[in-house]
Amino acid sequence: MNAIEFDKLYRDSSRKVFATLVRLLGDFDMAEEAMHEAFAAALEQWSNQGMPANPTSWLVSTGRFKAIDSMRRRARLRDLQPEVALRLSEIEAANHSLAEHDIQDDRLRLIFTCCHPAIAPKVQIPLTLREVCGMTTEEIARAFLMAPSTLAQRIVRGKAKIRDARIPFVIPSLADLPARLDSVLTVIYLVFNEGYSASSGASLIRTDLSDEAIRLNRLLLELLPDPEVLGLLALMLLHESRREARLDQDHNIVLLEEQNRQLWKQELIGEGKQLIDQALRSRRFGVYTIQAAISAVHSDAQVAAETDWPQIVALYDILLRAEPSPIVELNRAVAIAMRDGPAAGLAIIDKILKRGELREYSLAHAARGELLRRVGQPADAKIAFEQALKLAQQETEQRFLRQKITLLTSN
């Protein structure tokens, strides 16, 4: 196994292995250490012996035994506190041949554990993104516009709460599912967003995360066919349908209006629209279904010029009433610019930024720069794009903004 193959395996499987080890070991930090030791052992052994038939199960089993060995090294069994001895006994008694479907379900179990009602709502989502997705504290802090040190404290408190309250590592009963649903859907969508448009790093798209979010949503749909579960799956499928068109052959960003729509996957679009219809018929749909409906309108247009912008603005009006937020306002402003002209959208964005909201959000400045360019103010557009570049963390986005600045400078 070469380094590239190993790196891909780590990206695809590490959090899956971690989730199962948390269930088996009952401790986040121990599971993290065991997971890294298992991958280190794999790198050494597989280079000589080759990869086993089921690498994920091998990694879980190896990590579990590494944890047992670590506990034994720290103290003799008879000297351990009774509860620690009991935990070691339970770990040793775990089934040696872990079923693959159990491993697959463990990430959903871990999400429900992190979103338990005993954990403060402001802790649930950051904790899940850190432990389920493996996002760094800095990446999550940027997403929440928060200091990394503050976020790190919340994550530590969340893990301590799970340990001290002995929160079970299980999918809740059907009766308890609805009360936990909002937090779980939020987490799944944030996982998808990090895969669909990574917050930082060299690659804009992380297919391992977006694929995992869709898989988790499908599993959740089997447990609870709620309209918003349908709506979120529809939204992710419609976004996913455009994956291949979002970057050109040089891995540069291609804006929605410039994408080759022949590359859009019609089977995903079709499934997404069916899910939207199901959700709408329930008359109990929410914000994910409305967002999915907006995406579906884009999918209906064979070319960008045929996009039904009045319908999109109307849907954003509904979304803004259902979920008032500056991000929704920004997206609505862009839609208004497409319907009524760039000056109309620019006026709204200026008001949002003047309030102080989204001042540190690179996409707000990028959108403003594009609208300034379209109204014939290249100097101001360049300043806006430069501000967006200062705030952008993602390398592909930075390259896109530099290209915009270069074009304005050369004209």
Map residue 246 onto helix, strand or coil.
Answer: coil
- Of 377 and 174, the one with more pLDDT: 377
Poorest-confidence range of 124-133, 279-288, 353-362?
124-133
Distance CA 405, CA 407 (A): 5
What pTM value is reported for the model?
0.76
Residue count (the chain): 411
- Of 106 and 403, the one with more pLDDT: 403
- Of 307 and 252, the one with more pLDDT: 307
Q: What is the mean pLDDT of residues 107-134?
A: 85
User: Mean pLDDT over all residues of the chain?
Assistant: 85
In this structure, the number of other CB atoms found within 10 A of the CB of residue 116 comes to 18
Return the pLDDT at 74.
60
Per-residue confidence band for 94, with pLDDT thresholds at 50, 70 and 90: very low
Handedness of CA 15, 17, 23, 28 (dihedral sign): negative
- Of 374 and 98, the one with more pLDDT: 374
Q: What is the mean pLDDT of residues 132-143?
A: 80
Tell me which residue has tokens 């987490």: 187
DSSP 373-394: HHTT-HHHHHHHHHHHHHH--B
Per-residue confidence band for 101, with pLDDT thresholds at 50, 70 and 90: very low
In the predicted model, is pLDDT for residue 260 greater than 80? Answer: yes
Per-residue confidence band for 83, with pLDDT thresholds at 50, 70 and 90: low
Q: Residue 281: how many CA atoms within 13 Å on its side-chain side?
A: 7
In the predicted model, is pLDDT for residue 234 greater than 60? Answer: yes
Give pLDDT tens digits for 331-367.
999 999 999 999 999 999 999 999 998 999 999 999 9
Per-residue confidence band for 297, with pLDDT thresholds at 50, 70 and 90: very high
In this structure, the number of other CB atoms found within 10 A of the CB of residue 382 comes to 19
Q: What is the mean pLDDT of residues 251-260?
A: 91
Give pLDDT tens digits for 11-58.
878 888 888 888 888 788 888 899 999 999 988 888 888 888 888 888
Our measurement of the distance from residue 274's CA atom to the centroid of its chain's CA atoms, rounded to an integer in Å, reads 23
Return the pLDDT at 97.
42
